[in-house]
A and B are shown apart, each in its own frame.
Chain A
Amino acid sequence: MTPYSPKALGANVSSAPQVSADSLPAELRRIIDRVLKRSKLWPSERADVEAELASHFADGLASGLSVEKLVEDFGDPDAASSLIRRAKIRGRSRTWHAWRLARQLALATLALVVFSYVFVTVRFFVGTPTITRDIRKELNDPIAAIPQNKRGWPTYKQAYAAIVTPEPDAAGSSRSQANGGLDTPEDARRNQDAIVLLRKAAAFPNFGVELDNPQDYEFLLRHQLRLGGKEDWASRKIEQPSRDGPAVEIVLQHLGVIRSFARLLMQDVDLALQAGNSASVSEDLVAGAQMAVQSRESPFLISDLVSLAIGDLVMSKVREVLTRRPDLLTDQSLRQIATALRDIGPRRQLVRFDSELLSFEDILQRSFTDSGNGDGRLTPAGIRLLAQLSQFNGEGPQSGAGEIAAFPVASSIGPGRKALHDMYVSIMTQVKQWEQSPRWARPAPPDPEAIKRGTFPLSPYSFLSLMMPAFNNSVHAADRFDASRDATLAIIALEQFKRAKGRFPASLSELVPSFLPQTPIDIADGQPLRYKPSGDSYTLYSLGANLMDDGGKPAETSSKESQVSNFRPMGIDFSKIHDDWVFFPYKAFPKDQPGN
């Protein structure tokens, strides 16, 4: 045994005795050792107890008691060590007790945190989503119900198969972009057979492209390979995409194809315009407008945006034709073109968000558990889907270990399935209300990004930010299309007026009601479109982004400032922008102006 050090180190050690247990019999030393070892006291306390017990045994021996008797009288050393420890601890300072309490609280908190984390982690990893709705089928059902004899798609396929590309050049290269390559008059000249088929296909009331059709997928892919100059296009093994995933993964190849067909038709308009072929010009323009109608068939926002792009292409070409050869189109052709443009849909239906909600619900049912009442919590499958969507969108959660470890917590503290659904619906309700305002009086759009910014980046809120459609740009595209269509219909009406009256009207109001149902409005300020007749011609324009009448002077360059998507964005000096949007006479607009 170590001799007792007299130095008092702790509480209640009163002095510095020199007492050693070394001289005690081995049995008594063992008792003292056992008590000291198990009591786990501070060195000073330990020394004090050791000295006192040694002194006690020495007194007993001096009194004539036997070692055995002293051992018996001592009692249970283990019980003694426990009681001594408790008593000594009780005698320690308040500071020490406060520290001990703090430590115990910290440990208890840590234990609670660990327990909670383990609980939420286990709960997270055992959670599995239950897919109860076949959203892909729900989206496809209306298309599948279209009778075969009303579908233009089979004829479009014939046209696609009939498309021919130029021979490879001397360097051996061919067209690199199969769908985007049909954009020169030469392409149109070479593909007259296909163009005849396209006009025929566009005349069908419906497009009739069923979603998730493996035969269509293979057909389009093979012909893309063919048009891309791949010699093994007919024999190459085609791997089909999975069709078990969420609706957002539905492949919409046909939209790119029909858009390239529309470009090909517009190239054919140029050929026919040069040749003075009124019938071909008319047929191509009407067919183009009908393609815009057909492409809206699949109920996706992207379908609507493709429809608007095709419609813009056609309207721009209509204005060009009426500028260059106002006499070329017959009265009947003008009426057919106007009707076809109106058929693309009323303003409020140009972009639709309903299928986006369906897609969001599909994501939710594949990501969250199903509590049976519309609610549920995030699952590992949901995290995988979130990562997949993030890669697709180029944003979202990373895959660091810390973030992975945070998923169970995010699942527990983040919003559940029902909350997310309700938020999505709430935001889209705001969007619909916001969209109802006239463009010139519309306030700032709802900002779903605020939700994302204000929360934990890995939280289930990410689903909202990833799945929320780009409604601001979409609504703006619809506004631009509608403005361009109003102007184009006014230009057709002005031509009809001139043919009927032998002159252009003094104001647009003269067109109403015989040639137009109402005076076209400038979406810049809500006033009538600016119309300036001048002899045998006229100028029709909008104030444009700067809200100033520049006398029909179009933007000379496509500057960044003129590429505004809102009429009153922050940080742009409009005084430097001269960008009236001139619809007539036709001039190649900067690409950011309406109709382009």
Chain B
Amino acid sequence: MKIERELMRGAGPVAVLKLLNRREMYGYELVETLAERTEGALVMGQSTLYPMLYNLEAQGFIESYWKEAGAKGAEGSRDRKYYRLTEKGKKRLADDIKQWEAVIRAMKALGVASIAVPALPARSNP
């Protein structure tokens, strides 16, 4: 199930921050991971993802750097822009998580969200 645009606007940043809290990622990887880990619920096109990343970067929650993927100079090697969480981003993530938990509790209390929400499974870096 896809999330409505307005809901995505609130959920997208915290989801991205959460992913980057575990390890640094590049844009395509973030899209893929979000789609995979949320069973397609948080599918993001580039037209949404990259503006979101640039906004988070502008606010100082994440930072970026370019890195060559693959063996340097090898055929198929390519530069990718990686993003990682800053200290400020970590604090923001902690705050966001608390808020989302509060929202979920409230929704449960109202009977809007009746299922248990499993924690995100841990994944190792590729």
Contacts and interface: CB of A to CB of B under 8 A. Distances in A.
Interface string A38-80: 0000000000110111011011101100000000011111011
A550 to B, nearest CB: 93
A14 B79 contact: no
Contact of B66 (A17, A76, A88): A17
B58 to A, nearest CB: 3
Nearest to A4: B79
Query: Binding site of A, secondary structure by majority: helix, strand, loop or mixed?
Result: helix
A63 B31 CA distance: 13
A501 interface: no
B47 A83 contact: yes
Interface string B45-71: 111101111110111000111111000
Given A12-B58, A74-B46, A84-B50, A17 B81 contact: yes
Contacts of B55: 86-87, 90
B59 to A, nearest CB: 7
Contacts of A18: 79
Contacts, number: 93
Given A80-B46, A80-B47, A55 B64 contact: no
A512 interface: no
A215 interface: no
Nearest to A58: B78
A16 interface: yes
Could you say which interface size class chain B belongs to? Answer: 20 to 34
B54 A91 contact: yes
B80 interface: yes
Interface in B1-49: 26-29, 31-32, 45-48
Contact of B27 (A16, A17, A56, A91): A56
A49 B53 CA distance: 11
Given A18-B79, A59-B80, A91 B45 contact: no
A88 B54 contact: yes
B65 A14 contact: yes
A51 B81 contact: yes
Contacts of A12: 54, 57-58, 64
A83 B5 CA distance: 14
B46, B68, B78 pick with most chain A CB within 10 angstroms: B46
A90 B58 contact: yes
Contacts of B28: 55-56, 59-60, 63
Contact of A53 (B29, B46, B57, B64): B46
Nearest to A48: B81
Contacts of A475: none
A389 to B, nearest CB: 64
A62 B67 CA distance: 18
A87 B47 contact: no
B92 to A, nearest CB: 15
Contacts of B31: 73
Contact of A75 (B45, B57, B64, B66): B45
Given A52-B81, A59-B28, A14 B66 contact: yes
Nearest first, the 5 A-B pairs at minimum CB distance are: A75-B47, A83-B51, A91-B58, A75-B45, A17-B79
Given A75-B47, A86-B55, 12 more contacts: A16-B66, A17-B66, A55-B80, A58-B78, A63-B28, A73-B45, A74-B47, A75-B46, A84-B50, A84-B54, A87-B53, A90-B58
22 contacts: A12-B64, A17-B68, A18-B79, A19-B79, A51-B81, A55-B26, A55-B28, A56-B28, A58-B78, A74-B45, A75-B46, A77-B47, A80-B46, A80-B47, A83-B51, A84-B51, A84-B54, A87-B52, A87-B53, A88-B54, A90-B54, A90-B58
